[in-house]
């Protein structure tokens, strides 16, 4: 331990400061046990991935601080109030955040989430992209619609490829590119309508943002692991989270408010205890390295005031501007649960279902049918994304559920009504104060290196690093991207903190 570190250890004030009290008057004897090799902020996939890797690399004193009263962050599996038949392939539980493992294998090998699903005892079932689409009246789309849809999507890909090769402007949105495409030839009304529907369904919903919000040149990156099928962890993502958390020290209800990296030797991490023992108190900890996995939406909210207080020294203007320039997308789920899937068994036969909405594309129109997957749960999920999803978060659960049931009702013959669901769950990720959104996207205006500029490590010795889905250059927005970002930060910091 060098001289400056000795001094800092002697300065360690205490683990918990009662709220409002000044540190020096409450200072206790030096408490080396409150100095950590590595403090990880956040217990999502990034934080847990970082902790696992750091431990494997021999980092001894690792502490994970988590503001929520649970671990897992944007992965959370909730039990359902239904009894399934014996020998059902999966338990009655549903993921409110991440659900899919995107491409279990590919040229890069096995997706780390698929490996975790196996190691944790969850296992997984592979899924297909098979889907049905219906017009706004609930009539199945014609072959002509389907063929035009596929044809226009293929033409879009060619056009978009040329657009990318033609010096695209960072100020273009995907909507701008679509508008240019539409002007490029005398397309029929059907051709324009199918392409717009395709872009909303296949791109905007996936990236959790509107076409007008998504960057033209930087949106359609390959976020997938490879070419294998997607999969669902059979027991839900929380099984993977519990497995990763085994033998880690995690303090839940500990919210970090302040990260001071001005001393080159130790980082000072402070915050509040939100619930449980010590509720209302503040805490002060020191660490040789810190991995900050606070989600993008949370970081943006912290940086919004004229004089932000999260970091000391304050972030460089260019770094702060890059964080603010990124987009935090929104994908919400309306989860509809019945005791069994009999009412839709002859009608909705594929996993995916689109019931087009003639007035507002993509609103209460995309559904997923878990009964048609390997987990065989009697559950339909309605997805909303982007600014529409945000606009409905303020509505009551009852209104949101009824709007999600409306289009489904139109699929039934006249005189038949949908039995009421026995359980409904409505997510509101934009209102969640520990993320303010679902996952990051490249917002119109970003440039090639915005993401790497935004999440460069801090301090002369770079003792404070960033991890989380929003920091991963190849696989942002995903659980595996989050996990890999944590692993990479642990590998970078381990030699410095051991
Ligand atoms: C609805 C939805 C569907 C999704 N679907 C998929 C999918 O199918 N497949 C897929 O791969 N990905 C999916 N994702 C994305 C995936 O969930 C995320 O990319 C991933 O879980 C993010 O992990 P993370 O560790 O970066 O962040 P988080 O899981 O958000 O972890 C960060 C943690 O930091 C904590 N925290 C925040 N502020 C503080 C603070 N001040 N002090 C202490 N702790 C703090 C938070 O509470 C949180 O637990 C989905 C996300 C959502 C919301």
Residues ≥6 apart with Cβ < 8 Å to 303? 310, 315, 320, 323, 324
Residue 365 lies in a domain: no
Say how many Å lie between the CA of residue 74 and the centre of ligand 1.
3
Distance 91 CA to ligand 1 centre (A): 23
In this structure, the residue with its CA closest to atom 15 of ligand 1 is 478
Tell me the percentage of the chain whose pLDDT exceeds 70: 92
Q: What is the pLDDT of residues 349-400, one digit of tens each?
A: 999 999 998 788 889 999 999 999 999 999 999 999 999 999 999 999 999 9
Atom in ligand 1 nearest the alpha carbon of residue 47:
25
Question: Do 362 and 204 form a contact (C-beta atoms < 8 A)?
Answer: yes
Distance 216 CA to ligand 1 centre (A): 25
What is the structure's pLDDT at 222?
60
Instruction: With cut-offs at 50, 70 and 90, classify the pLDDT of residue 277.
Output: very high
Task: Please report the pLDDT score of residue 471 as a whole number.
Answer: 97
Atom 19 in ligand 1: which residue has the minimum CA distance?
478
Residue 163 forms part of a structural domain: no
Q: Is position 8 within any domain?
A: yes
Q: Is the pLDDT of residue 5 over 80?
A: no
Which atom of ligand 1 lies at the shortest distance from residue 486's CA?
25
DSSP 418: P
The region that residue 145 occupies, defined by phi over 0 for left and psi between -120 and 50 for alpha, beta otherwise, is alpha
**Mean pLDDT calculated for residue range 132-155:** 96
Does residue 106 register a pLDDT over 80?
no
Structural domain that includes position 52: 3-72+237-325+453-497
Specify the ligand 1 atom closest to the Cα of 434.
37
Which residue puts its alpha carbon closest to atom 7 of ligand 1? 98
Q: Of all protein residues, whose CA lies closest to atom 48 belonging to ligand 1?
A: 73
| Bridge partners, residue 110, by sequence | 105
Give 211 Cα–ligand 1 centroid separation in angstroms.
Answer: 23
Q: What stretch of H or E contains 296?
A: helix 296-303
* Confidence category of residue 25, pLDDT binned at 50, 70, 90: very low
SS3 percent helix, strand, coil of the chain, rounded to 5, is 35, 20, 45
Number of domain units in the chain: 1
Span from the CA of 434 to the centroid of ligand 1 (angstroms): 9
The mean pLDDT of the chain is 92
pLDDT (tens digit per residue) in 458-493: 999 999 999 999 999 999 999 999 999 999 999 999
Is the predicted pLDDT of residue 107 greater than 90, yes or no? no
CA of 305 to the centre of ligand 1 (A): 23
Alpha-carbon Rg of the chain, whole angstroms? 24
Residue 109 has pLDDT above 90, yes or no: no
219 Cβ contact partners less than 8 Å away, ≥ 6 residues apart: 174, 203, 207, 441, 442
Domain harbouring 275, CATH code: 3.50.50.60
Q: What is the band of 226 on the pLDDT scale with cuts at 50, 70, 90?
A: confident
Give ligand 1 pocket residues (Cβ under 6 A): 41-47, 65-68, 73-75, 97-100, 102, 255-256, 293-295, 298, 331, 333, 427, 429, 434-435, 438-439, 468-469, 477-480, 482
pLDDT at 26: 36
Assign 259 a pLDDT band (cuts: 50, 70, 90): very high
Report yes or no: 172 and 388 within 8 Å, Cβ to Cβ: no
For the stretch 52-65, pLDDT in tens is 999 999 999 999 99
Residue 67 covered by a domain? yes
Q: How far is the CA of 160 from the centre of ligand 1 (A)?
A: 31
24 falls within a domain: yes
The tokens for 84 are: 């399934």
Percent of the chain exceeding pLDDT 90 equals 88
Q: Measured from the CA of 100, which atom of ligand 1 is nearest?
A: 8
Domain membership of residue 11 (yes or no) is: yes
Residue 30, pLDDT above cutoff 90:
no
Q: Which residues contact 130 (CB under 8 A, 6 or more apart)?
A: 350, 351, 352, 372
Task: Report pLDDT for 22.
Answer: 26
411: pLDDT confidence band, cut at 50, 70 and 90?
Answer: very high
Which atom of ligand 1 lies nearest, measured to the CA of 331? 1
Q: Mean pLDDT across the stretch 306-329?
A: 98
Of 136, 103, 81, 83, the C-alpha closest to 479 is: 103
45-56 helix and 479-497 helix, angle to the nearest 10 degrees? 40
What mean pLDDT is predicted for residues 65-81?
Answer: 98
Q: What confidence category does residue 12 fall into, taking pLDDT thresholds of 50, 70 and 90?
A: very low
Distance 466 CA to ligand 1 centre (A): 14
Domain membership of residue 309 (yes or no) is yes
State the first-to-last Cα distance of the chain, in angstroms, to the nearest integer. 11
User: 22 near 284, Cβ under 8 Å?
Assistant: no
pLDDT tens for 145-159 read 999 999 999 999 999
Q: How far is the CA of 175 from the centre of ligand 1 (A)?
A: 28
Residue at 492 is within a domain: yes
**What local confidence, expressed as pLDDT, does residue 31 receive?**
54
Distance 293 CA to ligand 1 centre (A): 9
Number of Cβ within 10 Å of residue 334's Cβ equals: 23
Query: What's the pLDDT at 250?
Result: 98
- CB-based contacts of 66: which residues, under 8 Å, 6+ apart? 42, 43, 47, 250, 251, 252, 253, 254
Predicted pLDDT at 32: 56
Q: Which of 45, 65, 74, 431 to mutate to test the pocket of ligand 1 (most atoms within 8 A of CB)?
A: 74
């Amino acid at each position: 331990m060098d001289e400056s570190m000795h001094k800092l250890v002697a300065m360690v004030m205490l683990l918990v400061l009662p709220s409002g009290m000044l540190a020096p008057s409450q200072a206790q004897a030096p408490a080396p046990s409150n100095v950590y090799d590595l403090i990880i902020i956040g217990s999502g996939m990034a934080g847990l991935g970082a902790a696992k890797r750091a431990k494997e690399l021999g980092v001894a004193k690792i502490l994970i601080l988590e503001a929520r009263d649970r671990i897992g962050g944007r992965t959370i599996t909730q039990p359902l109030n239904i009894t399934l038949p014996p020998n059902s392939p999966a338990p009655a539980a549903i993921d409110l955040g991440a659900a899919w493992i995107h491409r279990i294998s590919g040229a890069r090998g096995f997706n780390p989430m698929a490996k975790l699903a196996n190691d944790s005892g969850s296992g997984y079932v592979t899924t297909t992209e098979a889907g049905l689409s219906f017009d706004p009246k609930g009539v199945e789309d014609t072959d002509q619609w389907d063929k035009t849809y596929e044809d226009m999507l293929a033409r879009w890909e060619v056009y978009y490829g040329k657009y990318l090769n033609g010096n695209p402007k960072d100020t273009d949105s995907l909507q701008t590119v679509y508008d240019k495409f539409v002007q490029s030839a005398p397309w029929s009304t059907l051709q324009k309508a199918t392409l717009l529907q395709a872009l909303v369904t296949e791109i905007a919903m996936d990236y959790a943002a509107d076409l007008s919000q998504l960057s033209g040149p930087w949106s359609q990156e390959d976020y997938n692991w490879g070419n294998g099928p997607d999969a669902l962890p059979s027991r839900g993502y929380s099984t993977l989270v519990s497995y990763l958390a085994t033998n880690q020290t995690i303090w839940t209800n500990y919210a970090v408010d302040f990260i001071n990296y001005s001393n080159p030797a130790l980082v000072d991490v402070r915050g509040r205890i939100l619930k449980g023992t010590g509720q209302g108190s503040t805490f002060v900890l020191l660490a040789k390295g810190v991995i900050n996995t606070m989600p993008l939406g949370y970081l943006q909210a912290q940086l919004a005031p004229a004089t932000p207080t999260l970091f000391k020294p304050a972030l460089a203007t260019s770094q702060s501007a890059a964080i603010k320039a990124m987009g935090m997308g929104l994908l919400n789920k309306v989860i509809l649960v019945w005791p069994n899937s009999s009412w839709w068994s002859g009608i909705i036969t594929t996993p995916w279902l689109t019931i087009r909405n003639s007035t507002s594309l993509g609103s209460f129109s995309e559904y997923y049918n878990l009964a048609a997957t390997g987990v065989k749960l009697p559950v339909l999920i309605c997805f909303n994304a982007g600014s529409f999803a945000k606009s409905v978060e303020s509505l009551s659960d009852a209104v949101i559920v009824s709007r999600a049931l409306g289009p489904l009702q139109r699929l039934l013959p006249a005189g038949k009504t949908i039995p009421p669901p026995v359980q409904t769950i409505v997510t509101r990720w934009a209102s969640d104060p520990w993320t303010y959104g679902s996952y990051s996207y490249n917002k119109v205006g970003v440039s090639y290196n915005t993401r790497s500029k935004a999440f460069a490590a801090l301090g002369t010795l770079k003792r404070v690093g960033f991890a989380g889905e929003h920091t991963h250059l190849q696989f942002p927005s995903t659980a595996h991207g989050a996990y890999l970002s944590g692993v990479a930060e642990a590998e970078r910091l381990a030699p410095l903190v051991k």
